[in-house]
């Protein structure tokens, strides 16, 4: 299929993008790397009447240190995250997960801000940032606000991001030397995860185990109580309702969540 008809506008600055969003409201979509939005449009799951291209905006790209955090511009591409020396040293979970997104072409175009705003529960970066206790900086007509990743995802492809807001930055605490683990179970090398598990600093995030990336709270609590990794991992699917779809049965997903959590925690502890 081909996308429904739409208009295309190129934003020249973040403020210009916000102004265009204000004018078009719900009818507009921001276009960055386009690697989630354009497929959705081709399938007519998204039919924006206006595309506001923000890919060329200056100052929204790159990785830097800021106090106790690493701050990542929203337009930073997955490939750049995977290759970032700062992330490699201080948030290696994020760099690793970014390096597993799709294939090199996708990593060359897709952006971290786009991936989080798209809020696909099967994507790599939402779970990695959730486990990392990350945050997003959102810019709107009234200024900027900071939202914890914990509070960002509200449902299947849904977030607290308002139609007139733009993700400008993503942050994650610097964790030099902290143990981390990331497990991704796929049919093919370049597929979305059937289930993914990310862990660092005692937090465990599950991908594709529900409508959003979500915390394996029972596992985290068990770990905090001093439970062994195998015992804590057994609780990974508690409280989740994974779907049965083309790729896997829900029960199999729950099994994978337990196994992958054990492996990720073991890797983090090693």
Partner 1 sequence: MAATDAHPRLDAASKAAGESIYVADIELPNMAHAAVARSGYAHALIRSIDTSAAEQMPGVVGVFRASDLAAGLYGRAVRDIPVLAAEKVRFVGEPVVAVVAETRVQAEQAAALVEIDYEELPAATTATAAVASGAPLVHDAPWEYPGAFVKPEEGHNLQSLNTVGDKETVEAALAASAFVVDEVYRTQTQHQGYLEPHACIASWQEGRLHVWLASKSPYPLKGQICACLGIEPDQLVIEPITLGADFGGKGSPMDAPLCSELSRLTGRPVKLVLRYTEDLTATDSRHPSIFRVRMGADAEGHLTAVAYDVLLDGGAYGGYKPSPHVVVHGAVEPGCYRIPNFYVECRTAYTHTVPKGHMRSPGEPQQLFATESAMDELALKVGIDPVEMRKRNILVTGDTDAGGRQWLEYRSTETLNAALAAMEDHSHEVPEGWLFGRGIAAYGRTSVSFGSTTICLIPLPGERLRAEVSYVETGTGSHTMVRELIGRELDYSPDEIEVVQVSTDRLAYDFGAGGSRVTTVASYAIDAAVKAWRGRLSDEAVEVTIDESAAPPVGAFIIQIAEVAVDPVTGQLKVLEIISAVDVAEIINDKAHQMQIDGGVVMGYGYACLEDLMEDDGHVWASTLGEYKLPTSHDAPHLRTVLVPGGRGHGTANVKGIGESLTPPVAAAIANAVADATGTRVRRLPLTSEAIFDALAGTVS
- Contact between 8 and partner 1 per CB under 8 A: no
- Contact between 106 and partner 1 per CB under 8 A: no
Which range, of 62-70, 154-162, 227-235, 250-258, touches partner 1 by CB under 8 A?
A: 250-258
Three-state SS letters, 50-65:
EEEECCCCCCCCCEEE
Which range, of 67-75, 105-113, 128-136, 248-256, touches partner 1 by CB under 8 A?
A: 248-256
**Options 89, 108, 255, 267; binder of partner 1; rule CB under 8 A:** 255
- Residue pair 149/135 in contact (Cβ under 8 Å)? The answer is yes
CB of 164 to partner 1, least distance (A): 30
Element of type H or E holding 230: helix 229-233
* Residues near partner 1 (CB under 8 A), total: 19
- Contact between 157 and partner 1 per CB under 8 A: no
CB of 22 or CB of 104, closer to partner 1:
104
List binders of partner 1 among 31-70 (CB under 8 A): 39, 43
Query: How would you class 253 by CB atoms within 10 Å of its CB: exposed for 0-12, middle for 13-18, buried for 19 or more?
Result: buried
* Cα first-last separation, the chain: 48
Burial 163-193 (b: 16+ CB within 10 A, else e): ebbbbbbbbbbbbeebbbbbbbbeeeeeebb
- Contact between 248 and partner 1 per CB under 8 A: yes
CB of 230 to partner 1, least distance (A): 12
**Options 2, 143, 226, 270; binder of partner 1; rule CB under 8 A:** 2
Element of type H or E holding 232: helix 229-233
Which of 136, 120, 92, 133 minimizes the C-alpha distance to 209?
120
Instruction: Give the SS3 label for residue 81.
Output: helix
Which range, of 17-25, 116-124, 148-156, 183-191, touches partner 1 by CB under 8 A?
A: 183-191
Which of 99, 45, 41, 65 minimizes the C-alpha distance to 169?
65
Instruction: Give the SS3 label for residue 159.
Output: strand
CB of 90 or CB of 183, closer to partner 1:
183
CB of 9 or CB of 259, closer to partner 1:
259
Which range, of 72-80, 106-114, 184-192, 234-242, touches partner 1 by CB under 8 A?
A: 184-192
List binders of partner 1 among 126-145 (CB under 8 A): none
Can you give the binding site for partner 1, defined by CB under 8 A?
1-2, 5, 39, 43, 103, 185, 187-191, 246, 248-249, 252, 255-256, 259
């Amino acid at each position: 299929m081909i996308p429904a008809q739409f208009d295309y506008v190129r934003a020249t600055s973040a403020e210009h993008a916000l102004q265009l969003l204000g004018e078009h409201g719900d009818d507009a979509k921001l276009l960055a790397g386009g690697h989630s939005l354009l497929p959705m449009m081709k399938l007519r799951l998204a039919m924006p009447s206006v595309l506001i291209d923000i890919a060329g905006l200056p100052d929204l790209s790159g990785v830097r240190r800021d106090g106790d955090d690493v701050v990542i511009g929203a337009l930073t591409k997955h490939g750049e995250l995977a290759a970032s020396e700062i992330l490699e040293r201080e948030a290696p979970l994020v760099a690793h997960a970014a390096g597993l997104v799709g294939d090199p072409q996708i990593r060359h175009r897709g952006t971290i801000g786009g991936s989080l705003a798209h809020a696909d529960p099967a994507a790599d970066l939402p779970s990695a940032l959730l486990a990392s206790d990350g945050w997003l900086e959102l810019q709107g007509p009234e200024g900027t606000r900071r939202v914890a990743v914990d509070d960002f995802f509200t449902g299947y492809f849904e977030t607290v991001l308002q139609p007139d807001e733009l993700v400008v930055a993503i942050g994650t605490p610097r964790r030099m030397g902290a143990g981390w683990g990331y497990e991704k179970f796929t049919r093919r090398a370049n597929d979305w995860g059937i289930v993914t598990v990310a862990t660092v600093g005692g937090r465990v995030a599950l991908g594709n185990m529900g409508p959003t990336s979500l915390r394996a709270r029972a596992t985290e609590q068990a770990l905090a109580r001093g439970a062994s990794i195998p015992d804590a991992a057994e609780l990974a699917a508690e409280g989740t309702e994974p779907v049965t779809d083309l790729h896997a049965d829900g029960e199999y997903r729950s099994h994978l969540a337990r196994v992958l959590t054990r492996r990720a925690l073991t890797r983090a502890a090693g």
